[in-house]
Every structure is written in C-alpha cells, then in structure tokens.
Amino acid sequence: MTRTAAHTPLDLSAFRGQDLAVLGLGVSGLSAATALQQAGARVQPWDDSPDRRDSAAAQGLHPTDLNDADFTAISTLVLSPGIPHGHPHSHPIIDRARDAGCEIVCDLELLTRSETDARYIGITGTNGKSTTTALIGHVLSELGVASAIGGNIGAPGLGLPAMGHSGVYVLELSSYQLELLPSAVFDVAILLNITPDHLDRHGGMDGYVAAKQRIFAGQTASDTAIVGIDDEPSAAIFNDLRTGSDAHIVPLSTRDTCSGGIYVAGGWLIDDRQNTAEPVLELARLETLPGAHNAQNVAAAYAAATVIAGAAAETERAALIAAIRSFPGLAHRQELVGFRKSVRFVNDSKATNAEAAAHALAAYDNIIWIAGGIAKDGGIASLDGLFDHIDHACLIGDAAGAFAETLDGHVPHTISGDLDTALADAARLAGDGPATVLLSPACASFDQFASFEARGDAFKIAVHTLDGFFLPNTGGAA
C-alpha cells in the first residue's frame, strides 16, 4: 500500500516578525527565502551572482547586499551549504555574521524547528546516501507510513510538506549540511561509510569525520544510531558511540558477522539484533540493487524501516521485504532499464569517474561495457582488477582512444564513437545472453550530452526501441 500525504505547507509562523538573512539563492536558498517571507519574516536574501539575484527578484524577493548588513539586528543567517564557512576560507559575509554573534544554519535546521512533532531519519556517508534515502522513503510509503524525502535529494527543506506527528522526514545529509545543524536530533541516524572526500572543505580527514559524526549529536535512549563498520573511520565512530551515547546502536557489515547488528553472510541479509541471526532477505533477488555497495544500502534501509514501521510479526516482515524488492532504483544509478531475452540493460550514467564505475563493474559478470566521454584524471587504469568482468567494451566520446590503449591486451574493445552506435554494437555482441549491457561511462558527458541525465535518458530511449525488449518484472514484450 502506498500512502502519499497531502502537500500541506509548513507552519513557519514562529519566524513571523524575525529578521533573517539568506546567503546563496540556489534551489534551497531560494526556497527558504520565499517560504520565510511568505510566513511573515523580514528576509534579507543575497547571492554573489547577479543572475540569481535577478531570478529571486522576479519571484517577489528583495535582494539585499549582506556585505553592508547590520548582523547585530539579524537573528539567523540561513546559509547555502555549498558556501565555505571555515576551510579553505570563509565567505566574508559569514565572517561578519559570526563576529556579530548571528547564528548560522541551513534550511534543514529551520525545518526541524518548525516540525517538532514529526520523526526524522537522517542518512549520511561518503557513498550510497541517495540510494539509501530513496529506498527508505519508498519502503515507508509502501508500508503506509506518511513520509517525505528531502535534504541533499528531493525537495529542499522548506519546500517539504508539513507531516505532523504521524509523518517521517527522510533526509539525505551531506557533511556540509551536518555542520549547519546545531540543534537537530534524529530519531534514526544512519552513517553508511567514510572515505576521503571534500577534505579541503573540512581542513583534512579529521574535520571530515567530525562532520559526519555530527549526525548522532543529541541522541537519547529513545533514538537509534545505525552505523556501517566496514571502514576504519566509521568503526571508530561506532566504538565511540558504544561508550559515549545513550542511543540504541545497530552495527552494519557486508563483510563480517557483527553481533547484535545486521550483516551479510552467504548472500543473505542477516538480522542479529535479537541475537537470533535470522536470515531475512536473499540479496541476489534484488535486481535493482546489485552489488556489495547496495547490500549496505539495503541493510541500512531495512534497519531504519523496522525501527520506524515495526516488523516483528511475520506478516509485517513480509510486507517490508516485498517493499524493498519493489524498489525501482534511482535513475541513472545502476538503473535496470529492462531485458531482451537473457540480456539485461543497465543505465549507470551517473558514474562519471572510474571509482563510480567500479561499483557497477563489480556487480555484474559477462558485461558488454559502454564507456567514454570526457575522462577524469587517471582514466580507467584503476579498474584493471575488474577487467575480467568485461566481455567487450564499446567506447564512445573523447576518451575512446585513450580507453582503448588502457584495454589493449586485456579486454576486447570497439571504438563505437557515439552512444547509439555503441548500443547497437553492444546488443549485437550480447546476443541472447546471459549478459549485461552496462552504460557506466567513467566519464563526464559534456562532449556529446548536456548532462549525465541527458546521456542516461538517451540510452533508455534507445534501449526501449530494441526488438524483443521487455520491462523489469513484466516478462512480456514492451
């Protein structure tokens, strides 16, 4: 059963009459400034970009140069998380606000202050945040729990609907956003993993880890901390929580048995929270969530959904597992487009570098790989350990020649040139299968497409025209 809550606007009346500034008028900042102004707040919005200021003015806002603002009279600066506020430098406006004692937050902080009766699930990690967030939202919806997805995916914080005491906000949180959430507390906080990323913005690895750990701040005995323990920084955070947090702590692992947690063994998701090591889900049956990285996403989503919706009874557990199995996947992230006989077609256009493509290459065998575009530094040399998964590569775009040189002597390949030709070549090479035709370019798209989304959409449209193609879970011709 899918339940969709009516879009009741947030009640932001608590900010009526307050003086707030908004710095950064991208999607989240523009949404925040508009919602606060409509609620009766005195809003001073600003962006360094004249085009964004003009766009804001066209929507009824009144851009105010915050370089000249009196921050002693402004209670709160709502900051776009992408604007540096510490490392490698601070925007001068932020320094002025901080010196005046003005609090600095992101839009999600105001969401949590306005919707105090709702429950909150926060998801962070270097990789897998978007899939896990979308999967949790899907599962809760299928189970009849009113929920809304936002944060770093979906709607901006103050563009989400009011949920009240019966609803759940499922929020993807970047390290940038977590640094701007001084008082938010999550009923369920999830840390998937930590690998080096955005180190310049956090002053190094220690600062990045500290930002991620903030997701567990303020949790009490009524809250749940779900922690992946397969990397050293996350395992260290898990150990810190065990000794210093009152929250109920659930470890996750896709590599090892973890007592009292959820882990993967023998291709099954195992729930050991009651010390029963109960197999609950065979992961190979999840066509839209292949690979070890998705196993971690599934484990986290399963853990969160059981906390929020409950799954003690056999019928409840069955419904939850069915909801996970029905997840369609995220567009352009190992998105299962469909089948032709025993050949699956997968759109992983979001894989714009080798590290991202590695996840998809590791998830399948007998791959006909469509790769190329504008290569990132290092090309695809780092993928050599996965070349045995590839039966043939069809290469496109500016990187085709360089990729061919890397593959010489290791993987048979064809320089197809463009995506349509590559798909035709790949479909011919795959025959009746078993095989996977995988668009996972390991490249940016801008030589031939406006975006990775446009590239993925073009792939999907072309696949749908193939003779004998059928959609997932239909078993019939499209």
Distance CA 136, CA 74 (A): 37
Reply yes or no on whether 87 is catalytic: no
Report pLDDT digits (tens) over 383-433. 999 999 999 999 999 999 999 999 999 999 999 999 999 999 999 999 999
Q: Which of 85, 129, 202, 460 is catalytic?
A: 129
Distance CA 129, CA 173 (A): 8
CATH code of the domain made up of 335-470: 3.90.190.20
Per-residue pLDDT at 6: 54
Q: Where in the chain is the domain with CATH 3.40.1190.10?
A: 114-325
Helix, coil or strand: residue 410: coil
Q: Which of 198, 248, 341, 376 is catalytic?
A: 198
Percent of the chain with pLDDT over 90: 82
Q: Which of 152, 193, 294, 297 is catalytic?
A: 152
Report pLDDT digits (tens) over 252-303. 999 999 999 999 999 999 999 999 999 999 998 898 898 888 999 999 999 9
Domain 13-105 class, CATH top level: alpha beta
Report pLDDT digits (tens) over 115-152. 999 999 999 998 889 999 999 999 999 999 999 999 98
Here the tokens at position 58 are 């066209």
Distance CA 403, CA 405 (A): 5
pTM for the whole structure: 0.84
**What would the mean pLDDT of 164-186 be, rounded to a whole number?**
94
Reply yes or no on whether 198 is catalytic: yes
The pLDDT-based confidence of 329 (bands split at 50, 70, 90) is confident
Per-residue pLDDT at 474: 41
The pLDDT-based confidence of 475 (bands split at 50, 70, 90) is very low
Distance CA 454, CA 118 (A): 36
CATH code of the domain made up of 114-325: 3.40.1190.10
Pick from 19-23, 158-162, 327-331: least confident: 327-331
Buried b / exposed e across 308-338, counting CB within 10 Å, b at 16+? bbebeeeeebebbbebbbebebbebbbbbbb
Q: Where in the chain is the domain with CATH 3.90.190.20?
A: 335-470
DSSP letters spanning 158-210: GGSPP-GGG-EEEEE--HHHHTT-SS---SEEEE----S-SHHHHTSHHHHHH
Q: Where in the chain is the domain with CATH 3.40.50.720?
A: 13-105
Percent of the chain with pLDDT over 70: 96
Token pair 């320094």: residue: 95
- Paired with 227 in beta bridges are 191, 251
